[in-house]
């Protein structure tokens, strides 16, 4: 073992320690690697920064921009809708549908693209259903990786193995497009089943502050509020009666924020006191659960378990709450909200008024507003953006950030067109992934789907610098011969082992390699060394079966144990949002990997791979 190999292993250990103990942020670890490796002479300065222009990093940047364009135009809303409808309120169904869909998509394209394109839809589903996003993103990331084993398209190591499968100077029959499909499908199904039954034990349960939106935090801050409830007005109700006649706010301190009129088949998201409530209608209210139940009992109404009629329109991605402050030169000073027709003027619902040292929930529209008063408002995000973009002097100043944004549904066709153009270049014209995806992202910017600033904001720069910094570590691992040395040393110690021992050893070894280098880079040294064992064995028992075994015992999810793997890195962002840490993928990936190693060893020992290949 050369001094360079020893130094490479020390640097690797240093990086792993930084990841585990999180003394610095993960992207800072990547920057440390870019600076440290050339300083100690393991790689050249040019190689240290090659990651910033690598195919993987540029592809991730482009596909995130494309995903943001699809999200901005509402395309991802249409994707998320059927999944939510099928899943109901079941977290297990959500994990199954999302992970299965992403796994299948990644079988026909790079798993980076499959995971990144589905990320916006996953975030929307998480918000709408109240499931911590980290519990959805981790299975999605693993299945994106595993889905690559279903076809030859998504499996770079298998493509490489087609050139390496030589036995006794004779080239073996190469893999076809669907040769590995049966085993890949089994892997994907076993991963989904694994997360369904063991997810509650190994998936992160933390729900950090970063994952809570402004609306949720405001609900907690105001003691008179708790949640948004949907109430159905049964046919037995003696109506119609106006909201003023029902006196919902004065009697129950509950705010009606939406009404669905069944007779007219219309919805109002700024209900007025003169609006009449009739049998068959539905209303959405904000308040304490105890008070909402008193309201329902008083009038014989039915409280629904979840938002149904208003499930889409009042989801946090489309509507929410914000705190505003009466500005010093506001036209509202000295006036009541009823005097100026506040609701009609701004299209928002006042929920509470913080004036002096008290919070008012009832009759707040009749209180004269003073400079510095705080108004808690509820409305669709579009209305808030219009209010915030009014010319100076503005009547209200926003004290909280707006969770939602103005959508561009009129650009949806353009967004889908540019996605199709990018995918067509990859599938039919064999254009390099980064070039094809970046052209699609550029098309979205030029045609106004996204502005340049929105594209920059969409990119997760922490992901970019983490990957760009760890690619040089992989280069050092291969350039110094560390990977080849470990492969030769481990396989040399085996002598003439049984097939199951050989396959299990190769699987463990390639799993270790892929913690720091690419799947393709891990495959090469293992194949070269394992080929010797295959030749020493027999054509029927060794190399053919073993080489196939390397592909499947190669890490679809050993890579999932590290946040530096492209598809997993996208999911790792969700773990950070959910208050989880680096050991999330390390722990779940370790268990999952062990099960897969056992599964693969049994399959290939029994010859399921097709004998001698």
**Which CATH number covers residue 328?**
3.30.70.1450
Distant-in-sequence, close-in-space partners of 190: CB < 8 Å, separation ≥ 6: 595, 596, 599
**Most confident by average pLDDT, 41-50, 120-129, 148-157, 574-583:** 41-50
Which of 603, 463, 558 shows the shortest CA–CA distance to 116?
463
Average the pLDDT over 336-362 and give the result.
91
What is the dihedral sign for C-alpha 60, 66, 70, 71?
Answer: positive
Q: Are residues 142 and 250 in the same domain?
A: no
The whole-angstrom separation of Cα 140 and Cα 118 is 9
- Going by pLDDT thresholds of 50, 70 and 90, the confidence category of residue 179 is confident
Which pLDDT does position 464 carry in this prediction?
84
Distant-in-sequence, close-in-space partners of 476: CB < 8 Å, separation ≥ 6: 8, 11, 37, 42, 43, 482
**For 487, how many CA atoms within 13 A lie in the half-sphere containing its CB?**
26
Work out the number of other CB atoms within 10 angstroms of the CB of residue 81: 16
- Going by pLDDT thresholds of 50, 70 and 90, the confidence category of residue 511 is low
Domain that holds residue 56: 3-208+461-605
Which pLDDT does position 166 carry in this prediction?
54
**DSSP three-state, residue 372:** coil
- Going by pLDDT thresholds of 50, 70 and 90, the confidence category of residue 241 is very high
Please report whether residue 455 resides in a domain.
no
- Which of 303, 332, 362 is at the close of a domain? 303
- Which of 372, 398, 424 is at the close of a domain? 398
Q: Are residues 220 and 188 in the same domain?
A: no
Q: DSSP assignment of 311-359, as one string?
A: TTTTSTTTEEEEEEEE-TT-TTTT--TTTTTHHHHH--EEEEEEETTEE
- Going by pLDDT thresholds of 50, 70 and 90, the confidence category of residue 372 is very high
Average the pLDDT over 560-564 and give the result.
45
- Which region among 99-103, 171-175, 236-240, 248-252 has the lowest average model confidence (pLDDT)? 171-175
Which pLDDT does position 604 carry in this prediction?
54
Q: Are residues 200 and 282 in the same domain?
A: no
What is the dihedral sign for C-alpha 37, 41, 45, 47?
Answer: negative
Q: Are residues 22 and 105 in the same domain?
A: yes
Whether the pLDDT of residue 582 is over 70: the answer is no
- Going by pLDDT thresholds of 50, 70 and 90, the confidence category of residue 165 is low
Work out the number of other CB atoms within 10 angstroms of the CB of residue 492: 11
Average the pLDDT over 114-127 and give the result.
74
- Going by pLDDT thresholds of 50, 70 and 90, the confidence category of residue 549 is very low
Please report whether residue 81 resides in a domain.
yes
pTM comes to 0.70
Mean of pLDDT over the chain: 78
- Which region among 44-58, 135-149, 256-270 has the lowest average model confidence (pLDDT)? 135-149
Residues in the chain: 613
Domain tally, the chain? 3
Of 520 and 311, more confident = 311
- Which of 377, 398, 419 is at the close of a domain? 398
Using alpha carbons only, give the angle 134, 139, 145 rounded to the nearest 5 degrees. 125
Please report whether residue 421 resides in a domain.
no
Which pLDDT does position 152 carry in this prediction?
65
Q: How far is CA 589 from CA 91, 245, 574, in A?
A: 20, 59, 16
Check: CB of residue 541 under 8 Å from CB of residue 447.
Answer: no
Q: Are residues 43 and 82 in the same domain?
A: yes
Q: Are residues 197 and 221 in the same domain?
A: no
Which pLDDT does position 547 carry in this prediction?
47
Of 213 and 368, more confident = 368
pLDDT tens digit string along 407-466?
Answer: 888 999 999 999 899 888 887 888 887 898 899 999 999 999 999 999 998 888 887 888
Q: Are residues 27 and 155 in the same domain?
A: yes
The whole-angstrom separation of Cα 75 and Cα 113 is 16
Which pLDDT does position 294 carry in this prediction?
95
Whether the pLDDT of residue 326 is over 60: the answer is yes
Q: Are residues 39 and 102 in the same domain?
A: yes
> Long-range contacts: 200-203, Cβ < 8 Å, 24+?
202/587, 202/588, 202/591, 203/134, 203/135, 203/138, 203/139, 203/584, 203/588
Q: Are residues 521 and 557 in the same domain?
A: yes
Which pLDDT does position 77 carry in this prediction?
73
Which pLDDT does position 172 carry in this prediction?
65
Whether the pLDDT of residue 95 is over 80: the answer is yes
The whole-angstrom separation of Cα 554 and Cα 563 is 17
Q: Are residues 100 and 200 in the same domain?
A: yes
- Which region among 51-55, 353-357, 487-491 has the lowest average model confidence (pLDDT)? 487-491
Q: Are residues 24 and 87 in the same domain?
A: yes
Q: Are residues 250 and 350 in the same domain?
A: no
Phi, psi at 204, each rounded to 5° = -60, 130
Distant-in-sequence, close-in-space partners of 59: CB < 8 Å, separation ≥ 6: 110, 112, 113, 433, 434, 437, 566
The whole-angstrom separation of Cα 128 and Cα 208 is 17
């Amino acid at each position: 073992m050369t001094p360079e190999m020893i130094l490479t292993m020390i640097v690797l250990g240093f990086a792993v320690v930084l990841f585990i103990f999180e003394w610095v942020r993960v992207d800072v670890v990547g920057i440390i690697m870019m600076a440290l490796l050339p300083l100690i002479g393991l790689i050249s300065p040019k190689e240290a920064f090659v990651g910033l222009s690598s195919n993987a990093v540029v592809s991730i940047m482009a596909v995130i921009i494309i995903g943001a364009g699809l999200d901005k135009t509402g395309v991802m809303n249409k994707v998320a809708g059927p999944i939510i409808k099928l899943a109901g309120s079941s977290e297990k169904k959500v994990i199954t549908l999302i992970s299965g869909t992403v796994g299948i998509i990644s079988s026909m394209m790079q798993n980076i693209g499959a995971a990144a394109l589905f990320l916006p839809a996953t975030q929307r589903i998480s918000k709408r259903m109240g499931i911590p996003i980290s519990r959805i993103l981790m299975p999605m990331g693993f299945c994106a990786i595993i889905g690559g084993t279903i076809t030859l398209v998504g499996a770079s190591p298998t493509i490489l193995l087609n050139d390496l499968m030589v036995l006794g100077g004779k080239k073996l029959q190469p893999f076809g497009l669907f040769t590995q499909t049966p085993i890949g499908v089994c892997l994907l199904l076993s991963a989904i089943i694994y997360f369904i039954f063991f997810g509650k034990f190994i998936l992160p349960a933390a729900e950090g502050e970063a994952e809570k939106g402004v609306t949720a935090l405001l609900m907690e801050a105001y003691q008179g509020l708790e949640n948004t409830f949907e109430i159905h007005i049964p046919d037995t109700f003696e109506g119609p009666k106006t909201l003023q006649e029902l006196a919902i706010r004065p009697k129950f301190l509950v705010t009606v924020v939406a009404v669905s009129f069944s007779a007219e088949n219309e919805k109002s998201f700024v209900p007025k006191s003169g609006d009449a409530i009739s049998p068959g209608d539905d209303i959405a209210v904000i308040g304490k659960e105890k008070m909402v139940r008193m309201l329902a009992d008083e009038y014989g109404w039915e409280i629904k378990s979840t938002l149904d009629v208003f499930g889409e329109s009042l989801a946090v991605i489309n509507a929410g709450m914000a705190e505003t402050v009466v500005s010093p030169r506001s036209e509202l000073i000295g006036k009541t909200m009823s005097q100026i027709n506040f609701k009609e003027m701004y299209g928002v619902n006042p929920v509470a008024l913080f004036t002096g040292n008290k919070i008012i929930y009832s009759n707040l529209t009749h209180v004269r507003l003073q400079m510095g008063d705080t108004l808690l408002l509820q409305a669709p995000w579009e209305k808030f953006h219009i209010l915030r973009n009014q010319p100076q002097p503005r009547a209200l100043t926003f004290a909280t950030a707006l969770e939602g944004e103005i959508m561009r549904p009129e650009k949806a066709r353009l967004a889908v067109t540019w996605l199709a153009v990018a995918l067509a270049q990859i599938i039919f014209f064999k254009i390099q992934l980064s070039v094809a995806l970046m052209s699609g992202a550029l098309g979205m910017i030029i045609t106004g789907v996204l502005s340049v600033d929105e594209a920059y904001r969409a990119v997760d720069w922490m992901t970019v610098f983490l990957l760009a910094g760890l690619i040089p570590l992989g280069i050092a691992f291969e350039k110094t011969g560390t990977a080849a040395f470990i492969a030769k040393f481990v396989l040399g110690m085996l002598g003439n082992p049984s097939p199951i021992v050989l396959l299990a050893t190769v699987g463990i070894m390639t799993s270790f390699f892929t913690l720091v280098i690419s799947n393709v880079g891990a495959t090469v040294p293992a194949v070269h060394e394992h080929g010797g064992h295959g030749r020493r064995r027999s054509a029927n028992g060794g190399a053919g079966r073993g080489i196939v075994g390397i592909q499947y015992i190669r890490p679809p999810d050993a890579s999932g144990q590290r946040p530096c793997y492209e598809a997993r890195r996208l999911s790792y962002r969700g773990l950070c949002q959910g208050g989880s840490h680096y050991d999330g993928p390390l722990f779940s990936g370790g268990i999952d990997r062990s099960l897969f190693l056992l599964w693969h060893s049994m399959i290939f020992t029994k010859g399921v791979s097709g004998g001698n290949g």
